[in-house]
Structure 1
Amino acid sequence: MTLDRPVTPDPYPLLPAVPSFDVTSTDVTDGRPLDDAQVNAGGDTSPQLSWSGAPEGTQSYVVTCFDPDAPTVSGFWHWVAVDLPADVTSLEAGAGADDDALPAGAFHVRNDGGGKGFMGAAPPPGDQVHRYYFVVHAVSEPTLGVDGDVSPAVVGFNLAFKTLGRAILHGTYQH
């Protein structure tokens, strides 16, 4: 059964405009299907990410993975890693396993599946193709000012006021 609904817009152009910078991955190719490792049933392994060219004044980063195509009003947050130090410009595959896999001082907030870490793609069987936006947010403060008990929505609210730039890479998946 395919759910009949319109395609959700790319959410990032709907936010206040900020400069972009570069993000690449050895595991995700922009606009292409995700590898099995990034799928919930295939391993739940966060992809390798590297970024460069963040705006001057960047003091920390937040890395997120968001699926706007989930059959909910609010989409689905698969990964939110907060307070990555400004001198960190890459994460190895699997860094989303838990807080211990992140650089010192960084932490996860709960994803929409209930865990603190990366949750791989898991759209409903037969649903449309889903997009998974891996985004590195350059932050103007050394910390975002939240703790690990907040929701991804609270992280997003704080990012609205502290984001200097955004690097975006997206993969796709259909079950």
Structure 2
Amino acid sequence: MRPVRSSAQRSRLAQIETPLGLVVTSPSFADGAPIPRRHAGRGVGDDVSPALAWTGLPDATSTVVLIIEDDDVPLPRPLWHTVAVLGGSVVHLDEGALGPDASDVVFLKTPLGRRYSGPRPIPGHGVHHYRFHVFGLSTPLRPDTTGRTELLRDLRATATACGTLTGTYRRP
């Protein structure tokens, strides 16, 4: 399975163009650097979401969407670990803010559930790249937005800004 991988180019999120770019940062890891074990998924680490911040949201942002995807899974497309929908004025998340008791976050269902799900690559599969995509939307998500297809539709139609922070994780 080592040579079998998706890629960033196969991500449907990479195809969404926006007029503005966001700068996404974390005090836990630099862009392109390893993600600390504390933020790794169940059975690997503590599964605590890292602190994140972003700048460059337009003033009229209605909704912020955070999508965490693994570009290196042995699947045709990257795997979405987490989809979190936030208010339009949110410009940062504290460490652990995407916990199970988060009241100001709406989680959309992913193959890994409705929650933060940290890095958990297959043992021995090499380095995986985890992209933390942040999108600013000009309108709220439609009421029927419950899955990937509907979310991609909404992102294509109303995203005005986006940015990405990439972290890596490797399991021996």
Please indicate, yes or no, whether the TM-score normalized by the shorter chain is above 0.5: yes
Letter of the structure 1 residue corresponding to residue 22 of structure 2: F
Match of 1:43 in 2: 46
Pick one of 141, 149, 155 that aligns with 1:144.
Answer: 141
Aligned residues: 167
Letter of the structure 1 residue corresponding to residue 108 of structure 2: V
Alpha-carbon deviation of 1:167? 1.6
Instruction: Tell me: CA distance 1:56–1:169, structure 2 relative to 1, closer, same or farther (3 Å).
Output: same
Match of 1:134 in 2: 132
Q: How does 1:1-175 map to 2 (within 5 A)?
A: 3-5=2-4, 8-10=7-9, 11=11, 12-40=13-41, 41-82=44-85, 84-98=86-100, 100-103=101-104, 106-113=105-112, 115-141=113-139, 143-146=140-143, 150-175=146-171
RMSD: 2.0
Alpha-carbon deviation of 1:102? 4.5
Alpha-carbon deviation of 1:151? 2.2
Name which of structure 1's ranges 86-95 and 5-14 shifts more when overlaid on structure 2: 5-14
Alpha-carbon deviation of 1:7? 6.2
The unaligned stretches of length 5 or more in structure 2 are: none
The unaligned stretches of length 5 or more in structure 1 are: none
> 1:95·1:102 contact (CA, 8 Å) conserved in 2?
no
Partners in 2 of 1:23 and 1:17 — Cα distance?
15
Partners in 2 of 1:22 and 1:169 — Cα distance?
8
SS in structure 2 of the partner of residue 101 of structure 1 = coil
Alpha-carbon deviation of 1:173? 0.9
SS in structure 2 of the partner of residue 161 of structure 1 = helix
SS in structure 1 of the partner of residue 20 of structure 2 = coil
Partners in 2 of 1:75 and 1:119 — Cα distance?
14
Partners in 2 of 1:159 and 1:146 — Cα distance?
14
> 1:63·1:81 contact (CA, 8 Å) conserved in 2?
yes
Alpha-carbon deviation of 1:89? 1.1
Normalization by structure 2: what TM-score?
0.86
